[in-house]
Amino acid sequence: MRAVRRGLRRAAERARRFAAVGLSGDSLVAVPASGQVLYRLVWRVPARERDFMSQMEKGRPPHKDSPAIYWTGVSMFRERSQAVSRASGKGSAVAQVTLRPEEGFHLAKTLNEGHYTVWGLPGRLLANCTIV
């Protein structure tokens, strides 16, 4: 119940901030990367370019319950443990990705706690990752 209230407070605060600049409450703001470090599951080691392809780039269908813009980016997490907790146990590993500003990456805080959607060329994301 406390978590629900906290979520509602956050949503209300976000809506207020968006409204202040003329945006609707469900707006998504993607910002240029500035050196953030995030974590992503990779299917095997060494990681491949495919590990950094979006659902769209993998030829997977978009999901009707999510904005299409999520389909064009990849999921990453603020903490390694958040990525690990979603691993399937089939030999997957975790990559630490440094989102260097010069690479043209963008990111937005989306969905649940610690979840980010990241946009960037898969080859460049791969080049900026380390298995941890």
Partner 1 sequence: MAYELLDVENGDVLASYSTLEEARTSLITWVGKHPRTADHTAIAVVDASGHAVDTIPASAVRETGSSGREQ
CB of 73 to partner 1, least distance (A): 9
Query: How far is the C-alpha of 51 from the C-alpha of 11, rounded, in Å?
Result: 31
What residues line the site for partner 1 (CB under 8 A)?
2-3, 6, 40-43, 51-52, 54-55, 60-61, 63, 65-66, 70, 74-75, 77-79, 81-83, 85-88, 90, 92, 111-115
Percentages (nearest 5) of helix, strand, coil residues in the chain = 30, 25, 45
Terminus-to-terminus CA distance in the chain, angstroms? 35
Nearer to partner 1, 83 or 99 (CB): 83
The nearest distance, CB 22 to partner 1, in angstroms, is 27
Please identify, using beta-carbon distances, which residue of 1 and 20 lies nearer to partner 1: 1
- Please state the φ and ψ torsions of residue 60, each to the nearest 5 degrees: -85, 155
